[in-house]
Structure 1
Amino acid sequence: MKYKRILEYTLAILQLAHRANGQDIQLNWTDYNLLNFLQDIRRLHHYDQLVFAHNRNATFGAAFGELSGNALDEGGVDFESFQANRTGNVDYETEFVRYMMTELPTAVVLYDELSSFELKRHFSAALLIVVYLEEELMAQSALFKATTASCETAFLRELFQFSWHSKMINVAALCNDYQDTQQFYSYTHLPDFALEYKHLSAELLYRGPIFPYRLSNWQGYKLPYIIGGGDPRVIVYEYDRRRVVGGFAGHFLVTFAHKYNFTLYEPLPIKSYTKFPPSQDLIKAVRNNTVEISVALTFPNIPLDGFSYPYEQVNWCVWTPVEADIPNYDFFWIVFEGMTFLLVLGAIIVISLVLSCALWQHNSKPDLLRFVIHDACLRGVIGQSFRELSRAPFVIRFIYMQIYVLGILLTTSYNAYFAAYWTSAPKVAPLRTFDDILQSNKKIYMFAPEYNELIGRAADLRKYIPMFYIESDYHKYLATRDAYDTKYLYMIPTTKWRIYREQQKVFTTPIFRLRADLCFYYNIPLGFPIHSNSVLAKILQDMVLETAQSGLTDYWMRIGFWS
């Protein structure tokens, strides 16, 4: 089982004290025991739960029985013969845990190599872990490595280096000889590893701190990081013969390093200032402990494990070409397209039929074709002259008048629409929904990992799979999108739109526009990949909130184009 730390305070106990009788702090160290130490830590550094962890394969009972020496009068439990009674019906370990719960008082959680849950998913972060260690390091493979009761320097270094690699900063080791030495042991890794020997004095135990807060000043600690993604989040350039990391994510990293006194260290330097690896590929460098943080904002997991507090919130929307103007030669026929043409044709046929019937009644028999489209009606409607019947009766003259009125209305409307189209050309019908895109001949050009994120998180979008064109080459994808290739539609975050909007101001007319009404996701939280139990998580969260509250984040986003 892989041990995962989520602790604000962690205590490593090499051997349990001689007895646990719950007495108050005494200057007489012969009466000072483990329980007193836990009470002092709770008073100086509050914790909500106490986690008692050890390997069940270790001979905890035997070692505890040898060290107890005295009975616990309050609990009525004889720990002096702990080893002998281990096979009996009394569970002395449970009795001891109950006694700690009574005397502290706080909730106690038993944790061993058989535990299969992560503490942070069930308890608050204010935990104190007590770990019993007794076997050699090489003999243990689960939970916590252990050793004998010796507090030699070599062992302490090995123990605390293991604690550092396990992302535990606040660790104290209390040995079985503490009554003689009156000290306990800790360590610091800022900026370099060093053991700390702390004296068990009344001043320390009353006023503390037993665990000093170290995260406010990292004393020049080398923080390994890696750069990836793209602009405007990260923009790297040279100025005055030195490399500058810009962009709103790059500015955040530099400011974060200045505030907490980090020295930025790049174990995997980028090969180009313009071509970065995709952000999803850099998560591996964090997970295998090559770097502490990736300066490449990425879609987080749900729940947010292994990522910082969200630094950027974006809408993921479609970026479409601006609708093109209809060609000029189409103006001649689009005026009467569709229903307008059918209405005019129907009116001509009806008037032709009525006119032909009226002429038939007045002994002027027309041809059969003129019952459908009479030449006089057709000529009159389009504004041409035609031959009238001489001395026509009133009914025929009234029909001629209708033809004149229809011709005036038709020619006037046609000329008005035609002139309006020449003055302000109409556009091609826009794509209003994803279904319109699906039915059109356009494709949404997407980078493969982003496409997998989209389809993987929303099963209802799988019906739109045919409208995507997937590109696995990240740099080819960026080159096609940044070239404003109108052959495709694109998915972009709102922060990238700021750059494109400024770039298109040099054009006579914009080429693309952001469709806020065609977004797959709104308010997507993006964070920095970090270790699952990174010691940077709390100060990163504080920094994200402070920069957002002060307006720095928005300011860095707005100046991204000028960078």
Structure 2
Amino acid sequence: MAILCIRQLIDKDFLLKFAKNLQHIRTRRILVIHNTKLEASTQSEIETFLNYCMQFKFLNVILVHRDFTETNIFHSLNQFPHFKLETRDLRTKSPIYPNRLANVAKKKLRVLADQIEPITMLYEIGDSLILEGYIGYFMKAFALKYNFRLWLPTMYEGTIVRVISMEEIRQAAHNGSIDVGASLSTPQKESNVHEYIYPIEFFQWLTMLPMEPQLETYYFFSSIFSPASLITIFLFSYWVCVLYRLQLSLRRKTLYWNRASLVLFLIPWNLDLLRGLLNQSTAIRLNSATRRIIFILVFAQGGALNILFSITMANWLTLPPHETPIESFDDVAERNLQIQVPEPDIAEIKFYCGETFWKQHERLFHIVKSVDEFQENIRKMDTRYGYLINTLAWPIIEQRQKYFKHPLFRLSESLYYTKGSLLSLPISENSMYKDLLSLFSLRSREAGLLDYWYKRTFYTMVYIGRFNLTDLSKNYRHEVLTLKEFEWVWITYSIGIGVSVLAFTFEWICYKYAYVHFRALLM
């Protein structure tokens, strides 16, 4: 309890000094002792003094006089819904400091909504202005519990058609134009954390990136027949053919270390044996154990390749793979992708990441003039851009994409601007509602109401037309055969033709040279 002894009730400067001593604790109980008798004080002086107390945001204050022990009379202030002087007798059973905030009798609670989805949204039905969004539900439930009447000050009536910046809301709370901002802001950016209630949310600034496009079907052949797999198949087939030729030569007893043996190692291919790679019939005679083992190996390799090809093709057509995901801001630059960011939020990026980060990556960002335009672009879900997003807005977008055949965007946690920050409601300094709002937020979180209001916001946004559930995704269809899918086939075929032409030219030159040289020797 704070006790104030005062000589003159109309000494406002003296009361102001006392208020400064009670900075941020003005809701405490205050006992004011006037150094004069009750009969010497006029009602107008008492009302003036208690009006000053109301201006300095004293909630629980009583005024007694020097002769209180004789009169048992004290005065108190009730400002709900309007100023009212109460004169009471101590001998009654009424409490000296009643809980004024239990029922504020429809007192106006001045609020200003930022209209940032999904936090708060305003829309009009006839002459009524409806506050929606999960913080909007929070404010309406708070007003209902304590019997407040939510009220948008007249000076801000023109803001119902646009997004309100956090700086504007903070300034309105700071200068006393509003009691509480129906918005969420981080106290970490402010020097005076007393202008915020207890933190309500924990959030992150991340990047919403378009889903990497599906690979075209013709990439299937280049992926399954990669250089490593082709080399492995070639080496295995080569040594199997070499073993087969060696076994055949040993059985016929025609193996000699001469030119024919060199040709055996250079060109060991046997077409009847290689048909086994395609699991085709062959004319090879399996009249020895070695030949049977070699033939089983070839057929086993052909069967494994056939199964691998079939499984990979089935998986490809069922769940088509995508391009390599973007994992860094350098990858964003390589893909020629830009990240949309509203101009007011550039300050947020600079605050969390620093000026150096912004100067280094500024070319990666597509700056949008206003938050209204930015929110409209997100609703359109233009996959030509990425978007600056926070963890409060992303679940709404993610739930919307559940109604699509294919999701268009994903949340990238590797492209972040802050790993975490706190969010809270901005209020006026020394607000008598601060503790009440903080307690209500804790109780709402404890009861699961905040989570419920957040989930409800998605359906509210659909109802008020912020977006619809139309499927914006594209239906990818796989053509049976296209010319593009034969690109690598034609490239490989062209390389083979080129090599064969070179081999033919080399052989023809060697033949002509040897033939001319041989004729010269004969002559």
Give the shorter-chain TM-score range: 0.5 to 0.7
Determine the structure 1 residue equivalent to 2:365.
469
**What CA distance in whole angstroms lies between the structure 2 residues aligned with 1:218 and 1:224?**
14
**What CA distance in whole angstroms lies between the structure 1 residues aligned with 2:443 and 2:415?**
32
How far 1:523 sits from its partner (Å)? 7.2
Determine the structure 1 residue equivalent to 2:171.
284
Determine the structure 2 residue equivalent to 1:556.
453
**What CA distance in whole angstroms lies between the structure 1 residues aligned with 2:230 and 2:161?**
56
- Partner of 2:100, secondary structure, is coil
1:270–1:124 distance in 2 versus 1, CA, 3 Å: closer
Determine the structure 2 residue equivalent to 1:5.
none
Identity %: 22
Determine the structure 2 residue equivalent to 1:161.
51
Candidates 423, 427, 435, aligned match of 1:530: 427
1:364–1:323 distance in 2 versus 1, CA, 3 Å: same
Contact conserved, 2:328 with 2:414, CA < 8 A, in 1? no
- Partner of 2:325, secondary structure, is coil
1:220–1:408 distance in 2 versus 1, CA, 3 Å: closer
Determine the structure 1 residue equivalent to 2:229.
340
How far 1:558 sits from its partner (Å)? 2.0
Determine the structure 1 residue equivalent to 2:468.
none
How far 1:295 sits from its partner (Å)? 0.8
Candidates 422, 442, 448, aligned match of 1:545: 442
Determine the structure 1 residue equivalent to 2:100.
214
* Pairing 1:111-122 to 2, within 5 Å after superposition: none
* Pairing 1:297-376 to 2, within 5 Å after superposition: 297-301=184-188, 304-314=193-203, 316-337=205-226, 339-344=228-233, 363-364=258-259
Candidates 6, 17, 30, aligned match of 1:14: 6
**What CA distance in whole angstroms lies between the structure 2 residues aligned with 1:374 and 1:351?**
9
Candidates 302, 312, 316, aligned match of 1:421: 316
Contact conserved, 2:201 with 2:424, CA < 8 A, in 1? yes
Determine the structure 1 residue equivalent to 2:480.
none
Amino acid paired to 1:233: I
Confirm or deny that 1:225 pairs with 2:225: no
Amino acid paired to 2:5: I
Cα deviations by residue, 1:507-547 (Å, 9 ceiling, x for unpaired) = 22222244678776677543221112111112212332343
**What CA distance in whole angstroms lies between the structure 2 residues aligned with 1:265 and 1:244?**
11
Confirm or deny that 1:258 pairs with 2:250: no
How far 1:289 sits from its partner (Å)? 1.2
1:352–1:424 distance in 2 versus 1, CA, 3 Å: same
Cα deviations by residue, 1:271-300 (Å, 9 ceiling, x for unpaired) = 476642234432111112111111112223
Contact conserved, 1:10 with 1:171, CA < 8 A, in 2? no
**What CA distance in whole angstroms lies between the structure 1 residues aligned with 2:178 and 2:186?**
19
Determine the structure 2 residue equivalent to 1:430.
325
1:13–1:330 distance in 2 versus 1, CA, 3 Å: same
Q: Figure out how many residues of one structure are paired with residues of the other and give that number.
A: 437
**What CA distance in whole angstroms lies between the structure 2 residues aligned with 1:311 and 1:324?**
38
Across the aligned residues of Structure 1 and Structure 2, the Cα RMSD in angstroms comes to 5.1
1:350–1:551 distance in 2 versus 1, CA, 3 Å: same
* Pairing 1:92-171 to 2, within 5 Å after superposition: 151=41, 156-171=46-61
Confirm or deny that 1:486 pairs with 2:383: yes
Structure 2 unmatched ranges of 5 or more:
9-13, 250-254, 284-288, 461-523
1:342–1:540 distance in 2 versus 1, CA, 3 Å: same
Contact conserved, 1:316 with 1:491, CA < 8 A, in 2? yes
TM-score normalised to structure 2 length: 0.64
Contact conserved, 1:495 with 1:557, CA < 8 A, in 2? no
Confirm or deny that 1:246 pairs with 2:132: yes
**What CA distance in whole angstroms lies between the structure 2 residues aligned with 1:464 and 1:189?**
53
Does 1 or 2 have the higher relative contact order (CA < 8 Å, sep 6+)?
2
Contact conserved, 1:53 with 1:112, CA < 8 A, in 2? yes
1:354–1:131 distance in 2 versus 1, CA, 3 Å: farther
Contact conserved, 1:178 with 1:184, CA < 8 A, in 2? yes
1:455–1:505 distance in 2 versus 1, CA, 3 Å: same
Contact conserved, 1:54 with 1:133, CA < 8 A, in 2? no
Which one has the bigger helix percentage? 2
1:224–1:286 distance in 2 versus 1, CA, 3 Å: same
Amino acid paired to 1:329: Y
1:423–1:292 distance in 2 versus 1, CA, 3 Å: closer
**What CA distance in whole angstroms lies between the structure 2 residues aligned with 1:412 and 1:163?**
86
Determine the structure 1 residue equivalent to 2:400.
503
1:177–1:124 distance in 2 versus 1, CA, 3 Å: closer
1:352–1:166 distance in 2 versus 1, CA, 3 Å: farther
1:274–1:440 distance in 2 versus 1, CA, 3 Å: farther
How far 1:560 sits from its partner (Å)? 1.5
Contact conserved, 2:197 with 2:427, CA < 8 A, in 1? yes
Contact conserved, 2:104 with 2:148, CA < 8 A, in 1? yes
TM-score normalised to structure 1 length: 0.60
**What CA distance in whole angstroms lies between the structure 2 residues aligned with 1:318 and 1:350?**
53
- Partner of 2:393, secondary structure, is helix
1:319–1:282 distance in 2 versus 1, CA, 3 Å: same
Say which is worse superposed, 353-362 or 264-273, in terms of deviation: 353-362
**What CA distance in whole angstroms lies between the structure 2 residues aligned with 1:436 and 1:342?**
34
